[in-house]
Amino acid sequence: MDNQPEAGLSARLSFGLAASFAIEERLATVMHIGIHEPGQSWMTSRVFHYHLAALACFLGLSIWRNWAPFIEPRFWAEEAQIYLHAVQHADWVDVLSFTANSNYQLAANVLAKLSTYAPLVYAPFVTTYLSVAVASILVVVVAQVAIERGVHPLLLLLAVGCLALAPMSYEVFASATNIQWYCGAIVLMLLALRLQSRRWVVFACVCSFLCGLSGLPSVILMPAFIAVGVVRKSRPHLLLAVILLACVAVQAYVLLATGTGGRQFTTSARLLLLPVALHSMLGLVMTPFVVKAIGTVALDWPNFIAIGMLCATLTLVLIRSTDSRNRIDVVLILAAGIGAAVVQTFGALGDPYFLLGGEANGGRYYLVSTSALILTIMLASVHRPRAMACVLGLSLLVQAVASYSPAWRLFNTGPAWAEEVAKCQVDPCQLVVWPGMQVSLSPSAFPH
């Protein structure tokens, strides 16, 4: 009789575990892919549904977070003030050779020019929806990594959800100017691909070339592809390194030819390291105001050491939680993400102290490092699925709550584009595109 409570508890635990595995199997069935079925070809229906579920999760959460850009698109700051203004009357030769802010952004140039083929009132729809399409490529690559590594479908959806609600996504999502940071995240994800099929090698080469010509975040990752190619003995990754090296040459030429105005090139170790800790690590599990409060005192040596020790410990725990097959990839991806963040902090526009002010202050520079952290947590879930599900679930919950923060008001609100166009009675006319920003546009450059 004394063993009855223990027997009852054991039975309940057994039933709970059985129910848990049944739910997992059911989820896998709904998504048409087994829990441990890596390496499937792209054209199978299982893989298609896997990618479709990830895209639906990403777009669904993006719309829930901020539906305004989808319903009433508008141009974002420099997107109109610099790029649209420059290309509205330009031919395609001038469009493809236009540079701004000491770098070459092919994607921003092309999207801005394509928007001039729509009536002025509908022009932002072009840049907004095409920018969302580029961001969706990131999800496609993440889903393929999950398939190849045998990641559980639920863990993939949690990782994609974290990417959709990442703090810096408010600043870079649905913006042609900021496509460069999504491109950097896409190139980072290519590090984790096996690249065993010709289709994916071609896809990776095209992405690397176009992203490398669309801003600096992608080309910064070139050394990581050399490291992965050497460690894995992967010729495709070495090929991608060569492609990115060619893009490095283009970006370096533009940088040398146009100068480095507005960049302070800080050499302070604390200023170089703290922003990635605040934005990419603490920012995933804290609200923007908490991160901002920490940033105000982070430069003090005791606080800097404490934050550094905390982040180092969490990184070591993550690496140790990864199985031996994926551990070297996790180390390389984390190193690539952190290295990219440090380089971008070094070359950031404006005062580097501004980057300590939380996610709403220069968070765009840390999308690549944040994506690296989310990706490595997903890879660690192959060995520790429940623990990593808790980590990603906590991050997703915190960011869902933080989405109501007024810190994002700058990115979620702004002048109504249709109302601004309705005021345009002369050619050219001044339109307000962002708080404190105007652009001179000629309605005659757009079809009626």
pLDDT score, position 354:
81
Rounded mean pLDDT of 221-246?
96
Rounded mean pLDDT of 352-377?
86
Contacts of residue 113, Cβ cutoff 8 Å, sequence gap at least 6: 87, 90, 92, 95
Distance in angstroms (rounded) separating the CA atoms of residues 160 and 374: 9
pLDDT score, position 341:
94
Mean pLDDT of the chain: 86
290 pLDDT more than 90: no
Listed in order, strand segments (DSSP E) in 147-265 are: none
pLDDT score, position 45:
59
Asked whether residue 246 is domain-assigned, the answer is: yes
Which domain range does residue 378 map to?
45-401
Lowest mean pLDDT among 13-27, 343-357, 431-445: 13-27
Per the structure, the count of domains in the chain is 1
Asked whether residue 32 is domain-assigned, the answer is: no
Asked whether residue 342 is domain-assigned, the answer is: yes
| Structural tokens at position 225 | 């592809």
Asked whether residue 99 is domain-assigned, the answer is: yes
Q: What is the CA radius of gyration of the chain?
A: 23
Compute CA distances 176 → 90, 94, 179, whole Å.
18, 18, 5
**SS3 for 77?**
coil
| Structural tokens at position 25 | 């199997």
CB atoms within 10 A of CB 239: 17
Q: How many residues does the chain have?
A: 448
Distance in angstroms (rounded) separating the CA atoms of residues 191 and 180: 17
104 pLDDT more than 80: yes
- Closest by CA position to 371, among listed 210, 224, 198, 213: 224
- The amino acid that residue 421 corresponds to is V
Asked whether residue 420 is domain-assigned, the answer is: no
pTM (two decimals): 0.88
pLDDT score, position 409:
76
**SS3 for 229?**
helix
Asked whether residue 240 is domain-assigned, the answer is: yes
Distance in angstroms (rounded) separating the CA atoms of residues 242 and 233: 15
Asked whether residue 423 is domain-assigned, the answer is: no
The percent of residues above 90 in pLDDT, for the chain, comes to 59
Asked whether residue 273 is domain-assigned, the answer is: yes
Mind listing the pLDDT tens digit for each residue in 161-215?
Answer: 999 999 889 889 999 999 999 999 999 999 999 998 999 999 999 999 999 999 9
Mind listing the pLDDT tens digit for each residue in 9-33?
Answer: 444 434 443 443 443 444 444 344 4
Handedness of CA 178, 53, 331, 400 (dihedral sign): positive
What do you get for the CA distance between the two ends of the chain, in Å? 86
